[in-house]
Amino acid sequence: MTDMPVSDAPKAPVKVSFKKQMLQAREDAIIRSVNLLLAEKGFEAMTVDEVAASVGIAKASLYKHFPSKEDLAAAAMAHLMGQAQAFLNSLPDDMSPLQKLRGVVRWTMLLKLAGEMPSLPSQNSTLRATLMSHKAYMDGLMDVSDRVGGWIEAAQAQGAINPALPAIAVLYTLYARACDPVLEFLRMGGQHTDEQIIDLVLSTCFDGLNSR
C-alpha cells in the first residue's frame, strides 16, 4: 500500500477559538439588529445608541466591530446580498426567466412585509462611498444584478417582457418593489392578506394596469 500524497491527505478542520466564535456571534447579532432598525426607521432615524442598546452592549464595544453608522448599514446590506444570492441559488433550473424574476420580486416583498428589508437613503454621499468600498456588498450586488439582468434579457428575447424597454430600467423597476409603499398601504387597509397583497403588486408590476 502506497503512502497517500501529502496534497491528497485529509485536512483537519480548522478550530475556531471560543473568543472568535463569541465575537462572530456578537457581530451577527449587531447586523440582525441593524437590519431590523433600518427596515423600521430608515438610515437617517436609526442611531448607533439604539443599535448598541438592542444588542445589549456598550457603544464603545459596538465601535470595535463597526467604526461608523455607515459601516453598520454596509454590513447589513452585505448580509442582504448574501441572502439574495442564496435565494437565487435555490431557484430551480427548469423555471423560465420570467418565473425566476417573479420569484425574486415575491421574495423581496415578503422581506419587506416581514419588516426585514433595510431602508437606505438614495442621496447620502458618505453612505454611498462606504457601500462602494465594501467588497462583500459590491461583489454580492454585482452577482445578483448580473444574474437578474440576464433573466430580464432572456425574458425579453422570449417576448415575456417588453423588448423595447432598456433592461436596466426593468432591473431598477423590479428592485424598487423592495421599498414599495403600496405594500404597507394595502396592509393598512386591512382588506387583503399579505399573500394577496403580494399577488396584487406582482400583477401590476408584471402585467401592468391595462385590462386583459
Q: Which residues of the chain have pLDDT under 70?
A: 1-14, 16, 18, 212
Contact 82, 38 (CB under 8 A): no
- Angle of helix 18-41 relative to helix 69-90, nearest 10 degrees? 90
pLDDT digits (tens, 9 = 90+) for 83-117: 999 999 999 999 999 999 999 999 999 999 999 99
Report yes or no on whether pTM surpasses 0.95.
Answer: no
* CATH numbers and ranges of domains, the chain: 17-207 (1.10.357.10)
pLDDT at 20: 78
HSE-CB at 91 with a 13 A cutoff on CA atoms is: 22
